[in-house]
A and B are shown apart, each in its own frame.
Chain A
Amino acid sequence: MPYGRRVTRTVPVVASSLVAGLLDSDASAGAVRLVEVARTRVTVHYETGRSDVPVLCVCTPDAVRLPASVVVAGVSDLRGGGTAGWRVVRWWRPPRPRGLTPPAVVPRSPVDEIRPGELVGRGPGLTPSGDDVLAGALVAAHAVAHPMLAEWREQTRRALATRSTTAVSRGLLQHALEGWAVPPLADYLEAVCAGSTAGAARAGLLAVGHSSGAALAAGADHALATAVREAAA
C-alpha cells in the first residue's frame, strides 16, 4: 500500500554521492514521494520513481551500506516517508574498485558461468541469489577490467528489461553495472587482489545478509578466476 508522509523535523543524514541528484531536486521541488517497498531491522527501502536512483535505502550505521543509501542515527528515524527535513551532515562516496590485478589464486567458486539472462530474478529473498551472483561478478569485472565486462553488462541490461526481480535488487544491479560496490565486497576485492589470503575480508563479505554475501563472493570469485583465463584465451 503506497503512502507518503511528510517529515517535518530535521534528520541529520550521511548521504551517498549517488543520491545527490535526488536530494538536490528535493530541495528545490519539495519533498520527493518515497514509497516503502521493503524493511528489515536496520534498513528501509523506498522506490523513488527516478531513473538514476530507482531505489533508495535508508539505514542505520551498523547496516551494510548500499551504494544508493542514506545513513541515519537510529531505528526511530526509519519511520519517515519522505526526505523533507533531511539535512546532509556529510557526503560519502561508495567504493568503486578499479585498476586491480586479478590474483594468481582465487577461492573456488560454485559458479562456472555468468548468464545474466538466467541469473536475474532467480531465487527468493530481498535480493535473489542470482542477482547477487551477477552483482558480485559485475563489480569484480569492473575492478580487474575483465574482458567479458561489456558483454555481461549488455546482457544484464537486457535481462533487467525483460525479467522480473525485486525492486531492491533491480536498484543494486543498476549500480553494479557501473562498478559501485558494498564496502565488504570492495574490501574483499582489494585484499585478495593485493595477494593476501584475505581471511578477515572474506569473512566480512560472507557475513552480509543471510546468503547475499556468499552469492556476491561466488560471483566475484568467478570473475577473478576467469579474468586471466579469458584474457589469455
Chain B
Amino acid sequence: MRLTAPESVVVAGASLLADPLRRQAVDVEEVQWQPPTGDPAALATVMADRRRAAANAHALEAMLGAEAQLVDVLPASEVLGLQPGEFLHAGPPIDWDRASGPLRGALIGASLFEGLAATPEEAERLLSGGDVSLAPCHSRGAVGPMAGVVSPSMWMFCLRDEANDASSYCSLNEGLGKVLRYGAYGDEVIDRLRWMTDVLGPLLQKAVRKQGTVDVKAIAGQMVQMGDEGHNRNRAGTLMFLREVLPALIDSGAPTRDVAEAARFVSGNDHFFLNLVMPACKLVTRAGAGIPGSSVVTVMSRNGTDFGIQVSGTGEEWFTAPANTPEGLFLGDYGPKDANPDIGDSAITETAGLGGLSMATAPAIVRFVGGSVPDALATTQRMYDITVGENPAFAIPVLEFRGAPTGVDVTAVVRSGVLPQINTGMAGRVAGTGQVGAGLVTPPMGCFTQALDALAAAVPS
C-alpha cells in the first residue's frame, strides 16, 4: 500500500463527511447504508473469519468452472434408486401434515400414477398414514419445478459435470395448464404422465444417446442473450434444445407418429427447457458447495410451506423459514387469495445467477410480473451488490455483456437488507388449480440470519 491522494473515496455513514470531499474535487461513492439484521456478534465473527474471503473466491471460481452436459435420460428407479413408496419433492424436508395444496395434489397424482392407490381418497389415506417416504429432491442431487414430485417410474434428465465429477437430475416438463407439478391429479394428468414414461422418455433417451451429449450450459448462455432468464422464460432455450436433438430424434428409428408427437409436445411447451436449466444450475451451485468458511448460498428452494437455503460453509444443513407468497399479475380472474406460498426448486436458477438475478436480460418477462423495464435493470444491478462475482458464461447484453451476478453472499444480504430477487410462477393454493399467475418473491430473511448463526458457530476460535 502506498500513500497517495485518493481520487475517489467510499463513504459509509454521515453524509456530512462526504460533502467536504466533494468540495475538494474528490469523487465520493456513498453507500446506502442501513443497520444489519440478525445477530451482530455472529456477523462480526463471520466477517472476521480469516477463511472467508479466500473461501468465497474459491466457491465462485468453482461455480464458474462447472460444466453441465445432458448425457442420458433414465427412469428415476434406475438412476436415483427410487423404490416403490419413495417420493422426492421440491424444497426442504416436509411431511404430509404441513404440505400445501399443490404438493399434496402432486403426491396424490404420483401415487395414482405409480399404482399405489386406485382413487385420490385412497392415495390420501396412504400418504397421510406415513407409509411412504418423502425426501427433498436436493437430497439425491435432483431438482424439481413447483411441487417437484418424483416417483420411481418417472424419466429423468441426467446431467454431468465432468470437471467436478458430479451429476444432477430433473424430471421432464409436462407443459402448462392442469399438470402434476401444480398439484393436479385428474385422468388427463395421469394419462400424460404415462405417455411421457412410455414414449417421450425412451425417445429422448435414444436421441440423447445418439447425439452423445447436449451442452446445456452453452444453450443457457445463448438463451440469456435472447431474452430468456431461465426461470420464468425459457422459450429460446426450449427451441435451441429441440434444434439440437431433432435430427437424432428423427433418426432414432422410432415410429414417426411418436417422433412427431414428441416434437409437437416439446415445441408447444415454452417451459420445457426449465427442466434442463434447473439441473444445470444445480451442477453450478453444487461445485461451490462444502467450502469451509464460505458464506455463498448454494441452494435456495421451497416446498410450498417453507423456504430453505443451504450455504457452502455449512454443507447440507437446511435453514428454513415460512415461505412468502409471490406478488404480481394474475391470470383470468384469479387474485391474491388464490395464490399458494412460494413453491419449487426452480430458485436454483437464481442461486446460480439466472432467473430474477438476471432480470435485466428478459425485458419481455417484466410486464408479465408487473414490473417496468427500468425496474428490471435496476434489480440486476442491485444483485451485483449482494453476490461475490459475475459469470461471464451468462453475459447480459443490455449491461454491455456483463456476466450474471453470481454467488449470493449471506453476509451481504444480512447487512444490506437486500434479498435475492426471484421471478416465479404462482401455483393455486387449492390442489389441481394450476398456475394462477406470475410474479416476484424473495426468500424470508430468517433463512439468512439462521445461516449466519451457523456460519459463526463454525468459525474456528
Binding site for B on A (CB under 8 A): 12, 14, 61, 71, 73, 89-90, 92-93
Residues of chain A within 8 A (CB-CB) of B25 are 12, 14, 61, 71, 73, 89-90
Which parts of B342-395 form the interface with A (CB within 8 Å)? none
Task: Flag B123-140 by CB within 8 Å of A: 1 or 0 each.
Answer: 000000000000000000
A190, closest chain B residue (CB): B2
B4, closest chain A residue (CB): A95
Size of the chain B interface, CB-CB below 8 angstroms = 5
Which parts of B1-33 form the interface with A (CB within 8 Å)? 5, 23-26
Bound state CA distance, A71 and B5, in angstroms?
A: 14
Residues of chain B within 8 A (CB-CB) of A73 are 25
Residues of chain A within 8 A (CB-CB) of B5 are 92-93
B26, closest chain A residue (CB): A90
Bound state CA distance, A12 and B24, in angstroms?
A: 8
B7, closest chain A residue (CB): A61
CB distance from B50 to the nearest CB of A (A): 27
CB distance from A50 to the nearest CB of B (A): 25
CB distance from A201 to the nearest CB of B (A): 14
CB distance from B21 to the nearest CB of A (A): 10
SS of B interface (majority): loop
Residues of chain B within 8 A (CB-CB) of A93 are 5
Bound state CA distance, A92 and B7, in angstroms?
A: 11
Residues of chain A within 8 A (CB-CB) of B23 are 12, 89
CB distance from A156 to the nearest CB of B (A): 28
CB distance from A183 to the nearest CB of B (A): 9
CB distance from A138 to the nearest CB of B (A): 22
Please name 15 pairs of A and B residues whose Cβ atoms are closer than 8 Å in the assembled complex, sorted by A: A12-B23, A12-B25, A14-B24, A14-B25, A61-B25, A71-B25, A73-B25, A89-B23, A89-B24, A89-B25, A90-B24, A90-B25, A90-B26, A92-B5, A93-B5
A89, closest chain B residue (CB): B24
Bound state CA distance, A164 and B25, in angstroms?
A: 37
CB distance from A194 to the nearest CB of B (A): 11
CB distance from A220 to the nearest CB of B (A): 20
Max chain A Cβ within 10 angstroms of own Cβ: one of B5, B24, B25, B26: B25
Residues of chain B within 8 A (CB-CB) of A71 are 25
B20, closest chain A residue (CB): A89
Given A14-B25, A92-B5; 13 other pairs, CB 8 A cutoff: A12-B23, A12-B25, A14-B24, A61-B25, A71-B25, A73-B25, A89-B23, A89-B24, A89-B25, A90-B24, A90-B25, A90-B26, A93-B5
CB distance from A64 to the nearest CB of B (A): 13
A73, closest chain B residue (CB): B25
CB distance from A63 to the nearest CB of B (A): 13
Bound state CA distance, A177 and B51, in angstroms?
A: 50
Bound state CA distance, A74 and B231, in angstroms?
A: 47
CB distance from A146 to the nearest CB of B (A): 23
CB distance from A62 to the nearest CB of B (A): 11
CB distance from A71 to the nearest CB of B (A): 6
CB distance from A137 to the nearest CB of B (A): 24
Max chain B Cβ within 10 angstroms of own Cβ: one of A73, A89, A92: A89
Residues of chain B within 8 A (CB-CB) of A92 are 5
A14, closest chain B residue (CB): B25
Bound state CA distance, A71 and B23, in angstroms?
A: 13
Max chain B Cβ within 10 angstroms of own Cβ: one of A12, A90, A92, A93: A90
Residues of chain A within 8 A (CB-CB) of B24 are 14, 89-90
A88, closest chain B residue (CB): B24
Bound state CA distance, A93 and B24, in angstroms?
A: 14
Residues of chain B within 8 A (CB-CB) of A90 are 24-26
A13, closest chain B residue (CB): B25
CB distance from B1 to the nearest CB of A (A): 13
Bound state CA distance, A89 and B19, in angstroms?
A: 13
B2, closest chain A residue (CB): A190
Q: Top 8 nearest A-B pairs by Cβ distance?
A: A90-B24, A14-B25, A89-B24, A89-B23, A92-B5, A71-B25, A89-B25, A61-B25
Bound state CA distance, A89 and B26, in angstroms?
A: 10
Bound state CA distance, A199 and B379, in angstroms?
A: 35
Bound state CA distance, A14 and B25, in angstroms?
A: 7
Bound state CA distance, A199 and B353, in angstroms?
A: 32
Bound state CA distance, A12 and B22, in angstroms?
A: 11
B5, closest chain A residue (CB): A92
Bound state CA distance, A73 and B23, in angstroms?
A: 10
Residues of chain B within 8 A (CB-CB) of A89 are 23-25
